[in-house]
Each structure stands twice: as structure tokens, then as C-alpha cells.
Amino acid sequence: MKNRLIKFILVSGIFIFSNTLQAQESSFDPNRLKADYFNDEGVKDGLVFDDKKGNTFKIKNSKYSRGLYIQHNDKWLKHGVFYSVSSGRITSKTNYFYGKKHGEHLGFHSNGKTQFQYYYNEGKKEGKWYQYRDDGSLFEEKVYEKGVVEGPKISYHSNGVKNFVSTYVNGKRNGASFQYNNEG
């Protein structure tokens, strides 16, 4: 019982003082915690709590992911920041809002450097997307609008010089594409 209480306090503290709830409109009130335990089948065995607006959340930590769920229309939806984990290290960090990717989505190489940086708006790809090599150099960049590639898509040689440039309109390559050697 004492270990369970210590785990509850530690897990609660991590989520209270971290930015995992930044993408949410509701505010978390640590004085209104209600602890229950649920597993993936909905059987009670995981930490669940309510905020002051009556939203019900549960914390899920498994071997492969860590994050927060919100109960909405009798379903548990990813909500807030979710971390994917492999061999004990974080491989990606994704923001969710009521089950849809929303905001920044980051991936990490095994050396800890950023592998990709993407953005979503209510589940659709949106804004600049970047992919990086494991040394941290930019590999590719493109822009999404409402889920489709729009504008230039540029890949780079490892020395930072442009490698391939093409233009997209409504998600389809449009016009001439250009390929460059590593000297430009």
C-alpha cells in the first residue's frame, strides 16, 4: 500500500509539474484527484483522475508508450503529450487533442538527436515538416496545408547543399524538378 501511494504521488507530481497538459483547454486541479485503476480492456487497474471541469483522465505507462487519455463519449482518447519508448529511451513525442494529433510531433534518433519535426492540426498534416540525419543535419523539408504537400519540397546533401527540389500543388508534383550535385 505504501509503495502504491508513493507511485501515485510521483506519477501525479510528474504530470502536475510537466507540460503534458499544455495542449488542453481544461485546467488540472491536483486537489480533485480521484484515483482508480484501469487496464487496456477497461478493467480497473490504472491511475484515473478528474479535473475541476469534470473531465476524466487516465495515465498510461507501458513498455512502449507513456501518456494521458481523456474519456470522451465513453471512449478513452489520447490527450496531451504522448511518448513512444523503445529500449528505455524516448523515440517520439506527439501531442494529441481528443484522440487526434494536434501540434508538434517529434522523433528522435538513437543518439538522442531530432529525427523529424512535424506539425498537425486536428489530425491533419499542417505547416513545415523537417527530417534530419542522425548527425543533426537537415535532410528534407516540405510544407503541408490541410493534409497535403503544398509548395517546395527540398532535400539536402549531408554538407547542407540542396540535392533535389520539386514543387507541389494540391499534393501532386507540379512542374520541373531539379537535382544538384553536392557542390550545388
- Confirm or reject CATH 2.20.110.10 for domain 109-183, answering yes or no: yes
pLDDT in tens, 46-72: 577 788 888 888 888 778 888 888 888
Q: Give me the mean pLDDT over the 92-117 stretch.
A: 96
Give the pLDDT band of residue 4 (cuts 50, 70, 90).
low
Q: Which runs of consecutive H residues, i.e. helices, occur in 67-171?
A: none
- Could you give the 3-state DSSP secondary structure of residue 16? helix
Whether residue 34 contacts residue 13, with contact meaning beta carbons closer than 8 Å, is answered with: no
Average pLDDT, the chain: 82
pLDDT tens for each residue of 138-159: 999 999 999 999 999 999 999 9
Residue with the three cell numbers 512542374? 175
Give which of 100, 76, 83, 109 is closest to 19, Cα–Cα.
Answer: 83
pLDDT surpasses 60 at 42: no
Across-strand partners of 77? 70
pTM: 0.70
Sort 138 into a burial class: Cβ within 10 Å, 0-12 / 13-18 / 19+: middle
The full set of domain ranges for the chain reads: 1-77, 109-183
Measured CA to CA, the distance from residue 88 to residue 105 in angstroms comes to: 19
